[in-house]
Chain A
């Protein structure tokens, strides 16, 4: 069974540019999550999809971040315009959503904003 995949693995952009990150969850997992780790900090929750619906977006930093999950399959996270403080590693995770909600993580996208 393929795991969670993310693209790109690295992205270097300049302040003010736009970047779109993609996540493909494990097949059959209705729940998809985005997390972020900035330098020196813990991994923090951004948002949660159940199929194509946003269940919880309480962790999204501001309206420069837009997440979508068309058709309930893969998800994209767009940052527009990017700021220096957006640099970090963006992880995607998916789960079957059973009672105990074990989440499986992708390899992450390392975003550097110059």
Chain B
């Protein structure tokens, strides 16, 4: 079982709709959860961090965490063509400081 799993996509969403990205993780002692956005050929850009169960909202982005189910999600409201990118789910455990990444989900917003 991979440590962080994501559907590779591509996920196609019409402009203006809600994009929903999902991620599961295997290590129960994980404590910090991150969503990075990566445009082709660019660096991963941190867009959301979440540490407690529940929802965290920042602008058009909402991160959701369910530790019992070992599940993290990212919702993007009012999707824009500029949101088209690969979204990386990443997890940090209490054991050390390294981040473990999923392979990423390619999101394509259809104009």
Partner of A100, one of B4, B42, B51, B98: B51
Q: Does A108 contact B (CB under 8 A)?
A: yes
Q: Are A108 and B43 in contact (CB-based, < 8 A)?
A: yes
B-contacting 9-mer, from A12-20, A38-46, A61-69, A72-80: A38-46
Q: Are B32 and A101 in contact (CB-based, < 8 A)?
A: yes
Nearest-CB distance from B106 to chain A (Å)? 13
Q: Are B97 and A97 in contact (CB-based, < 8 A)?
A: yes
Contact pattern, B 37-62, Cβ under 8 Å of A = 1, otherwise 0: 00000111110010100000000000
Q: Does B100 contact A (CB under 8 A)?
A: yes
Q: Is the interface of B mostly helix, strand, loop or mixed?
A: strand
Q: Are A105 and B104 in contact (CB-based, < 8 A)?
A: no
Contact pattern, A 97-114, Cβ under 8 Å of B = 1, otherwise 0: 100111111111000000
Q: Are B98 and A104 in contact (CB-based, < 8 A)?
A: no
Q: Are A106 and B102 in contact (CB-based, < 8 A)?
A: no
Contact pattern, A 77-106, Cβ under 8 Å of B = 1, otherwise 0: 000000000000001010101001111111
Q: Find chain A residues with CB under 8 A from B34 CB.
A: 102-103
Q: Are B104 and A104 in contact (CB-based, < 8 A)?
A: no
Partner of A56, one of B4, B36, B98, B103: B98
Q: Find chain A residues with CB under 8 A from B109 CB.
A: none
Partner of A42, one of B46, B98, B102: B102
A selection of 8 A-B contacts at a CB cut-off of 8 Å is A42-B103, A43-B44, A43-B88, A44-B101, A45-B99, A45-B100, A101-B97, A102-B49
